[in-house]
């Protein structure tokens, strides 16, 4: 399974960016998906996740600002990021797992990461 992330780049505080991620190879092997991020000098953080049934979960730091969505037809997920803040600056990783729900944050598949930089 390969996960390819798109989008990201440079945004302004208060603005919006959208990330997308597509699963290829054996996309039917992917059920739960999500987005991690890692900022310099900080621990990796699970930002948002969506399980195969469509249920979602968010880190407290992004609740109300970020929305994760999923298209099961082609195993693609999106992360709509609104009201961006400089502290959202990080490398964002698309993740996936064969399990329908991942409760421990340990996903089997990782994408290559895409940089998001938010200027103040």
Please give the chain's pLDDT, 120 residues, in tens: 999 999 989 999 999 999 999 998 877 889 999 999 999 999 999 999 999 888 999 999 999 999 999 987 778 999 999 999 999 999 999 999 999 889 888 999 999 999 999 999
Is residue 14 packed enough to be buried (19+ CB in 10 Å), middle (13-18) or exposed (0-12)?
exposed
The predicted structure's pLDDT at residue 75: 81
* pLDDT number for residue 48: 97
Write down the pLDDT at residue 47: 98
């Amino acid at each position: 399974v390969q996960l390819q992330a798109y989008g990201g780049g440079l945004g302004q505080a208060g603005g919006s960016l959208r990330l997308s991620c597509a699963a290829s190879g054996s996309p039917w092997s992917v059920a739960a998906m999500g987005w991690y991020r890692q900022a310099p000098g900080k621990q990796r953080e699970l930002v948002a996740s969506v399980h195969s049934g469509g249920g979602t979960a968010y880190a407290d730091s992004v609740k109300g600002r970020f929305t994760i969505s999923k298209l099961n037809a082609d195993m693609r997920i999106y992360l709509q990021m609104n009201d961006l803040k400089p502290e959202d600056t990080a490398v964002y990783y698309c993740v996936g797992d064969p399990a329908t729900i991942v409760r421990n944050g340990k996903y089997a598949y990782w994408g290559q990461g895409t940089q998001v930089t938010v200027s103040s």
